[in-house]
Every structure is written in structure tokens, then in C-alpha cells.
């Protein structure tokens, strides 16, 4: 299990000084960005770094990388080697940002004509009782695949009390996903309004196990399909699923919590992927560029269906793996993520004005809120692009 190190205030100050040592790549200065915007973003990142070990960030405007940076220490010195500075190519767990990829896996499987155990093609309206055994309560509630994708199943989140892990199992230890599925199958849909629930995306990953993909001619797994049909086509060579083969330079967690996560099987489609900010930009470009899904599937993914409640801004709804928020002449598509010791934000903003697509990826080793920094970048880009 990973050992937690809490840095002193003096050491954190030392991390901030690394901002002057880590190269910030400013590849181009297109319409909508400036050196002043880069400096402002660096200062905002420095403030966030006070509560983190490391932070990486990448900004693209209309497909052009205008800024990429890493700050802090991704891994402290240890018996495994010397300290590693964070860069734009440092991998981190991306936590709930993984849901974008899980949704893409399901939509891609539907497009590929995947066959279920009921010998029927997988579809958005496939009943969950055709995919999971012993769930008559889900059948009576009329739950279908689309309800999982859009956070509208009303199933409680298996990561929030009082829903239990298997008896005697700690969430920071390895948990067998199939043992956890046996617990989740007993969950009853709530009588109240749907809420954001990690259970939905855990189940989406689990339902892929054993599907037959005609073009492949055999059963598939979530991990193999994700790699071959999503990550590889997007050129995400520094991304994968957390497990025994995680990269040696994966950023180390930073958290005051007593929990970290060791080889976590249990997040599955809800949060088991690691990536870099530059790989997330490859993902954004490939997905929004129509290289991963058909136009119809992409439209379904990015259509807000379920109004979001809780700590989100007004007019935010959930599509499939993305939160959607219309703001004046532009629209935000984003997802944040957190796993003990890590934070993530991936945001794409499409403008109906002269400025086109703005894409921001931020990953951190620390328990942070990254939405403020992402929206600061958007506001700077829009202000510069419309003046």
C-alpha cells in the first residue's frame, strides 16, 4: 500500500519555487491567448499548489497547444529512485473523468453490434435484467442502459454511506469487482429524484464483461475494449487502467486522509483510468473531431439529459460521461474527478462566437477543486478572443 507523506509548509513553499524551474511550453500565440494569460494561469496554479504535491495543465485553442506546464514534485525521492518533477507528460489517476471513456466504450460497443447474453444487440434501451442476474427490482423499475449513462437510474452510489462495501473490506485495499457487484445487485432504486451516483458507471463497465463483438469474434472485457477501441485510436500512449502495471512515474498522492488506493479494481468504469494532460487533449481532439464515435452517438453523449443538483453551477445537466452547461454564446462540456490524494478536470468549451473550441486539462496530486482555474482560463481566452 502506498505510504502517505504530508509535507511541511516549508517544503510546500519549495514546491512552489519549482514553478521557476519547470518549463512552461507556450507553443503558439493564436487568437485568444497571450503571454499575460500564461502568466496569470501560472500564478493561479501556484496558489493551488499550496495544497498539493504536483499539478499539470494543458490548454488548447482550436486544436493548438497554447500552454502546457507541470509544477511541483510528482514523486518524492525514495528507494525506487530520485525525485521526479511534474511535467505536462506526468500521468495521474483521473478519477471520475474516467466516466467520459466508459460512456464512449458503451456507445462504441452499441455501434459495433455487441451481442448480450440474451442473444440480442446491446442498445441504449437494453433492460438491465438482460445484462445482470438476480435483479428483479431493477426490472420492475424499468432500468435500462441509458439510465446508467445519464445518471438517472436512482441507484445509490456505492462509494457513499450508507451503501456498504463487502463485509470486512476496506475501500483503500484491493477489492474484487465481482465481489462488489454481488453487493451492488441488491441496491434498490430510490423513490426520490436521481442523483450523481458512481454505481451507474461501475455497472456500465461490468456489463461489458462477456459481450460478444462480431468484428472481434469473441467476448470482450472493459479494459481490453477501452484500450483497443478508445485509447489507441486517440493516440493516448501514456494512458491506461490502474492496476499492477501502472507506470513507475505515476504521480504520488497527497492527502491528509488516512486512505490511499492500492491497485484499485473497484472504481472500474467510475474512476479507474490514469492519464496525462496531453493525452487528455488527444482525447478531446479525437472525440470532438469525430474519430471515436459516430456523429449520432457523439450527439447523444453531449446532450444534457439529467439536471444536476448539489455543488454545481445552475443550468448544469448530465449527458453521458459529461456535464453540460450553456453559458451565453458558449457551452461547457466537462467532468471533474477526485480520488484520495488526486484531483482532475477536463473541460471543453465550444463557442458560437468567433472563438472556436477551448480545451483545458488539469491534473493534480492533491485534494483540490480545479473548476475555478479551468473557468478562469476560459474567461481569459474568451475575453482575448472577442476583443
Q: What nine digits make up the cell of 193?
A: 429524484
- Measured CA to CA in angstroms, residue 232 lies from 97, 224, 236, 238, 318 at distances of 18, 11, 6, 10, 26
Cell of 29: 500565440
For 27-39, the pLDDT digits (tens) are 555 556 888 889 9
Mean pLDDT, residues 205-211: 93
What element of type H or E holds 360?
A: strand 357-365
pLDDT one-digit tens code per residue, 259-274: 555 555 678 999 999 9
Helix, strand, or coil (residue 340): coil
pLDDT at residue number 354: 59
Nearest to 105 by CA among 145, 139, 132, 142: 145
Comparison of pLDDT for 11 and 185, the residue scoring more: 185
State the angle between helix axes of 277-288 and 98-111 in degrees (0 to 180), rounded to the nearest 10. 30
Q: If you compute the radius of gyration of the chain from its CA atoms, what whole number of angstroms results?
A: 21
User: Is-above-0.95 flag for pTM?
Assistant: no
Q: Is 203 exposed, middle or buried (0-12, 13-18, 19+ CB in 10 A)?
A: buried
CB-count burial class (<10 Å; 0-12, 13-18, 19+) for 77: exposed
Q: What is residue 316's predicted lDDT score, i.e. its pLDDT?
A: 92
Q: Residue 153: pLDDT band by 50, 70, 90 thresholds?
A: very high
- What's the pLDDT tens digit per position in 133-151? 999 999 999 999 999 999 9
Give the Cα separation of 168 and 180 in Å (integer): 12
Amino acid at each position: 500500500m502506498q505510504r502517505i507523506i504530508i509535507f511541511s509548509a516549508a517544503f510546500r513553499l519549495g514546491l512552489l519555487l519549482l514553478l521557476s524551474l519547470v518549463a512552461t511550453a507556450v507553443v503558439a500565440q493564436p487568437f485568444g491567448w497571450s503571454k499575460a494569460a500564461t502568466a496569470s494561469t501560472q500564478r493561479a496554479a501556484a496558489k493551488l499548489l499550496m495544497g498539493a504535491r504536483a499539478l499539470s495543465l494543458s490548454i488548447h485553442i482550436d486544436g493548438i497547444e497554447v500552454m502546457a506546464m507541470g509544477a511541483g514534485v510528482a514523486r518524492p525521492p525514495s528507494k525506487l529512485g530520485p525525485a521526479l518533477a511534474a511535467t505536462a507528460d506526468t500521468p495521474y489517476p483521473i478519477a471520475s473523468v474516467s466516466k467520459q471513456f466508459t460512456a464512449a466504450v458503451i456507445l462504441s460497443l452499441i455501434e459495433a453490434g455487441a451481442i448480450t447474453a440474451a442473444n440480442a444487440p446491446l442498445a441504449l434501451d437494453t433492460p438491465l435484467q438482460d445484462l445482470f442476474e438476480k435483479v428483479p427490482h431493477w426490472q420492475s423499475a424499468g432500468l435500462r442502459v441509458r439510465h446508467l449513462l445519464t445518471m438517472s437510474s436512482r441507484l445509490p452510489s456505492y462509494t457513499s454511506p450508507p451503501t456498504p462495501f463487502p463485509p470486512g473490506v476496506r475501500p483503500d485495499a484491493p477489492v474484487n469487482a465481482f465481489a462488489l457487484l454481488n453487493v451492488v445487485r441488491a441496491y434498490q432504486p430510490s423513490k426520490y429524484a436521481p442523483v450523481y451516483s458512481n454505481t451507474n458507471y461501475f455497472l456500465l463497465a461490468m456489463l461489458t464483461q462477456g459481450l460478444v463483438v462480431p468484428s472481434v469474434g469473441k467476448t470482450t472485457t472493459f479494459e481490453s475494449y477501452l484500450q483497443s477501441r478508445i485509447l489507441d485510436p486517440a493516440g493516448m500512449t501514456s494512458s491506461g487502467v490502474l492496476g499492477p502495471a501502472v507506470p513507475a512515474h505515476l504521480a504520488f498522492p497527497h492527502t491528509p486522509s488516512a486512505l490511499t488506493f492500492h491497485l484499485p479494481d473497484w472504481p472500474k468504469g467510475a474512476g479507474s483510468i490514469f492519464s496525462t494532460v496531453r493525452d487528455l487533449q488527444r482525447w478531446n481532439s479525437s472525440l470532438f473531431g469525430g474519430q471515436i464515435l459516430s456523429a449520432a452517438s457523439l450527439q447523444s453523449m453531449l446532450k444534457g439529459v439529467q439536471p444536476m443538483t448539489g455543488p454545481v453551477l445552475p443550468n448544469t445537466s448530465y449527458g453521458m460521461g459529461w456535464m453540460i452547461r450553456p453559458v451565453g454564446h458558449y457551452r461547457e462540456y466537462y467532468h471533474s474527478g477526485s480520488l484520495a490524494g488526486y484531483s482532475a478536470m477536463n473541460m471543453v468549451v465550444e463557442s458560437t462566437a468567433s472563438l472556436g473550441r477551448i480545451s483545458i486539462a488539469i491534473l493534480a496530486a492533491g485534494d483540490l477543486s480545479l473548476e475555478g482555474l479551468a473557468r478562469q482560463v476560459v474567461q481569459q481566452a474568451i475575453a482575448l478572443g472577442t476583443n
